[in-house]
Amino acid sequence: MRGGSGFVGRELTRLLRDRGHEVTVISRQPGPGKITWGELESRGLPPCEGAVNLAGENLMNPLRWWNESYKKDLFSSRIDTTKTLAQAIAASPSPPHSWVLVTGVACYKPSLEAEYTEDSSWTPFDLLSRLVKEWEAAACLPESVAKTTKQVVIRPGAVLGRDGGAMKQMLLPFWLGLGGTLGSGRQPFPWIHVADLAGIIAHALEPPTDTSPPAVPQVFNGVAPALNTNYEFTKELGRVLRRPTIFPVPGFVMNALMGSERAVVLTQGQKVKPKRTLESGFQYKYPDLTSALREIVGS
């Protein structure tokens, strides 16, 4: 698993080990239970049942200014790692039965009205949607390997959990009573609890049921079935924390602080439905905001 040392990767590693699987993390740093990219390239993919790519420079890194070098890192840390892993799978004498890439919902154009499912067609319209296009294209396996290796793409919304992602940065201001809506607050806020995202990835890693999996990756939206706005999220987090949420942050402030191409993920949003995820029989632990936020803040 590449990116296994990160926020989602740690949760997935815990889940898979609890289920009795052995997990090897592919990382930039060597360490126990890990192999490095260099080792992957020189020695090839170790025999495994499934491979996952979760690597990527953090889009919300507060320590990085929005500039060309950061944008380049966002692209290369995702696309190059995905290509390397896909090539290692293709070159393996015994390729894994499942290959899972985790991307994002930024491919769907923000809208207050449109509802998107995995079947919705889309074409890139901004920087982040271009990133998703190139990232997903980098994962495609040659036809000969795709006959035996199931390819899956999971597109998560904002991943909510105590130990990372957006919540880690939001909890302190909300605790201090400084939380508020972002932009108009009317924008949809697609989200998922980290435990459910790990569950969907584990579900996708299961061996294919068809003898010949589809030649193109199957897409699953990694979002909770509840459709919420940023206003609803803000009010529910304030309620669960018992704190006021009276300090809205205007869109232009977000754009100035974060860069408008990045702020778009918070100031605008998409109504994303997990149609295929539900049809696949996946059962959410945290299908609504109240249960997810209660688990996260421990109330």
202 contacts ligand NDP (rule: CB under 6 A): no
Q: How far apart are CA 108 and CA 270, in angstroms?
A: 7
Burial of 283 (0-12, 13-18, 19+ CB in 10 A): exposed
Stretch that binds ligand NDP, among 55-63, 233-241, 255-263, 266-274 (CB under 6 A): 55-63
Q: Which is nearer to ligand NDP, 56 or 110 (CB)?
A: 56
Q: Count residues binding ligand NDP (CB under 6 A).
A: 27
> Closest approach of Cβ 56 to ligand NDP, in Å?
3
Q: How far is the CB of 28 from ligand NDP (least distance, A)?
A: 4
Question: Which of 1, 6, 149, 219 is the binder for ligand NDP (CB under 6 A)?
Answer: 6
**Sequence-separated (6 or more) residues with CB below 8 Å from residue 167:** 160, 161, 296
Binding ligand NDP by CB under 6 A: which of 141, 158, 219, 254?
A: 158
> Among residues 15, 21, 24, 57, which is the contact residue for ligand NDP, using CB under 6 A?
57
270 binds ligand NDP (CB under 6 A): no
**Smallest distance, ligand NDP to C-beta of residue 235, A:** 20
* Torsion angle of C-alpha atoms 62, 247, 158, 127, degrees rounded to 10: -60
Cα–Cα distances in Å, from 245 out to 83, 176, 232, 273? 43, 10, 11, 27
Binding of ligand NDP by 159 (CB under 6 A) = yes
184 binding ligand NDP? (CB under 6 A): no
Identify the burial level of 64 via C-beta atoms within 10 angstroms of its C-beta, where 0-12 means exposed, 13-18 middle and 19 or more buried: middle
- State the Cα–Cα distance between residues 132 and 154, nearest whole angstrom: 11
CB burial readout 212-234, b (16+ within 10 A) else e: ebeeebbbbbbbbebbbbbbbbb
Based on the shown chain and the rule CB under 6 A, indicate whether residue 81 belongs to the binding site for ligand NDP.
yes
| Residue 205 tokens, joined | 């890693």
Residue whose C-alpha is closest to residue 165's, from 1, 11, 2:
11
Using the rule CB under 6 A, give the single segment among 157-165, 179-187, 209-217, 269-277 that binds ligand NDP.
157-165
For the bound state, the minimum distance from the C-beta of residue 289 to ligand NDP, rounded and expressed in Å, comes to 15
Q: Which region among 21-29, 112-120, 226-234, 239-247 touches ligand NDP (by CB under 6 A)?
A: 21-29
User: Of all residues in this chain, which one has the CB nearest to ligand NDP in the complex?
Assistant: 6
CB 217 within 8 A of CB 139: yes
295, 286 contact by CB (below 8 A): yes
Residues forming contacts to ligand NDP in the complex (CB under 6 A) are 3, 5-9, 27-29, 54-59, 73, 77-78, 81, 102, 104, 156, 158-159, 164-166
